[in-house]
Structure 1
Amino acid sequence: MRDSPTARRTLERALEFFGRGNEHFDSDRFSGAADCYRRARDEFVELDDRHAHIEYIYALTNLALCLTILDEHSKADEAYQFLLEELRRCEESGMQDRLSLLNDRVVILTNLAILLLEEDRPVDAEAALGEALSILEEIPGDDIVRGRVILRLAVALTDQERLAEAEPLCREALDVFEQGDDCGIDLGRCLMNLGIIEMERGRLPESISSFNRSLAVLGSLEGSGWDQALASINLGNAQRKYGRFADAEQSYRRALEMCDRIEGMRLDRVHAEQNLALVLMDQGKWEESEKLYAKALDEYAALGACAVDRARTTMNLAMTLFHQDRLEEAESRCRQALELLDESEGSRSLAGGVWLNLANTLRE
C-alpha cells in the first residue's frame, strides 16, 4: 500500500506513536514508552516501504532498550534479534545510506551489550562491543560514539574483574566526554564506572570523589534519575568501605527515594535497601536493620530472586535477631538460610558463614 492514502495514515500513526514513546522515555516512564514503541512498530510493519523510514529502526531500538530497563530480558532479547534482522533487511533494500546503517548497528550492539551485562554475561557483552569497534574502523570517526562503546567495554571488563584493562579505557572515554558537547549523561556514567574501578582497586578517596562528580553532572540532566540512583548506591558503598557510615546511610536513603520515583528499579531498590540495612548494622541499629531485611525478603520473593540472594539476606536477618538476644528466631532464620543454600547448591563460603552464625546462636 505504498503511497496510498491508507499508507500515509499508517505512517502518520506510526510517527505519532514513536514521538509519544520518546516523550515517555525522556520522563523515565518506560512501560508507557515500551507500549508506544510497540504500537509504532505494529503500524510500521504494515508499510511496504518500512525499511525506508529510519524511525522504524529507532522505534525497535528504543523498545528493546525499554524492555532491558524493565527487566523483561527474554522479551528484550527477542526484540534485539528481530531488530538486527530488520537492520539487515534495511541494508539489503538499499533504501538508506550504508554509513548511517553501520552507525545504527554500532548503537544496537552497544545497547545489546547493556542487556548482556544485566544478564551477567560480560564475556558476550565484550564480544558484541568488539564487533561494534570493528565496524567503527570502517566509517568516519565519531568520537562520542566510540567513547560510548569503549565505556561499555570498560564496564564489561570491570564485571570480569579485569580492572587494570578497564581503567585506561574508562579514562579514554572520560577524555572524550569532557571535551564533547551534549554528552552529560555519558560523562556522568563514565565517572560512575571510574568510581567503581577505583573502589574495587582500594582507592576509596578517589572513588568517593568520582561518584560525587558523577552525581553533580547527572543532577542537572533531565531523564538521568536511573543513573543518579545507581551513582548514589555506589557512593554509599565506597563511603561504607571507608568507614563513613553516617554518610553512607544518607547516600542509600537518597538512592531509595530515587528508586521509588523511577519505574523499572525494583531490583536496584532491594539492593539499596539491603546496603542500607548493612550500614545500620555497622552502627548497631539492629531493629531498623531487621525491618529492612524482612522487607527485602518479601520483595525478593515477589521478584523471584535466586535462592543464594535470599539466603544471604536471611543470614543477615538472623544476625540482627542474634544481636537483639532473640536467639530462637535467629536460629530458625539460620536454618532457613541453610535450606536455601542446599536447594540451590550455593557457595561453600556463604554456607560456612551460616554454619558459624548458627553455632554462635546455639552456644548462646
Structure 2
Amino acid sequence: MSKRAYNFNAGPAALPLEVLERAQEELVEYQGIGMSVMEISHRSAEYEQLNAETQELLADLLNIPAGYKTLFLQGGASTQFAMIPLNFLTSEKVANYVITGSWGKKALKESKLIGETRVVAQPEKFSHVPDLSELQLDNSSAYLHITSNETIEGIQFQQFPNIGDIPLIADMSSDILCKPIDVSKFGLIYAGAQKNLGPSGVTLVIVKEDLLENTPDHIPSMLRYDTHIKANSLYNTPPVYSVYMVNLVLKWLKEKGGLDQVEKFNQEKTKLIYDVIDESQGFYVGTVEKQDRSIMNIPFRLKDEALEKEFLKQTQENGFVGLKGHRSVGGMRASTYNAVPYESCKALSEFMIDFQKRNG
C-alpha cells in the first residue's frame, strides 16, 4: 500500500484506515447480497437492519437514555441552523445563543431570520469559553444554543451549562464522540458527520421526544423533526453509503474501548503538539486559553506571515496535509479528530521542533 498522508484536514477529515479497508472489501458486494450497499433500496430489510444497528451503536457509545430519538438527516449542520428555530422558536418565545466562534455566528444568523433571538454570552475575542455559571434565562426562553467545539477557533466546552428546564441545544459537529457526554443534559444534539463520524452526506440528530409536542403546523414536512421520527429517518431516500460508513466508524470506536479510551487517546496525542507550542518560548503561539483548548482542533501562529508560509510549504513537502488555518483567521490549524493516528501527531510535533531549531 502507498504511504498515507499525515491528514490534519478540518473536514472532510481523516477516516480510520481499518474502516476504509473494510469498506473497500464490501464496496462491490455487501454481506453476500450480490450488490453494493450503494445499490440497495432504503426500504429493503438489509438497509433497515443497517439503520437500526447504527442507531443502537450510537445509543450504546453515548449511553443515550430513554425518551430520545436518533435521526440520520441530510443538509449538514447548516440546515440544522434553520430547522432548530423553525421547530422550537414560537412567536411568544426567545432563542438564546452563546457565541464562541464562526459556527455559532452562522447558527445565530439563521435563527434571527425566524424569530426573536438574543446573544446571552460572547467573549470579545474568541480565545475562551465565557463563564456561564451565573447565566439566568427567563421563562420566555425557547432554548439555549451552544457550539461545543469551534472548528475554526479551536475552543471547546469542558463542561456544559446547567439551565434547568430550558432545553440545551448543541452543535457537536467537530467533537461528537471524542469523549463521554451526559446526553440527558441536552434537548437536542446535532453533528455533521464529516469530522468524527464518517464521510459527508449525513447529519446526526439526537432529540428529546417531548420537545416536539408543540411543533408549529406550518413547517414544511422535510424540515420537521417529527416527520423523520415517524419514518425512522426513512421519509425520503437517505444517504445510504454515508450511514453505512458511520456504522463502520462506530464499530471501530467500540473496538477501541469506547469513549473513555477514545478521550484518553485524544488527550495523549494532542498533548504532543500542545507541549511543543508551550515549550517553544514564543516561537509558536497558541490562540486559545489553556483551560478551553480543544482536543479536536489546534490553532497556532508563528511570529510573522513569511515564516508561516515557509512552515506550510515545508509541511506539505513532508507529507502533511490540511495545516493551513481557516481563511478567516489565518495561521495554522491541526485538526486531530478521533481517526488521526498518534503517529501523525508525533510526526508533526517532531517536525515543529526541527523547524524551530532551523528557524528560531
TM-score normalized by the length of structure 1: 0.25
**Higher gyration radius (CA):** 1
Q: Which has the higher contact order (CA 8 A, sep 6+)?
A: 2
Pick the structure with more helix per residue. 1
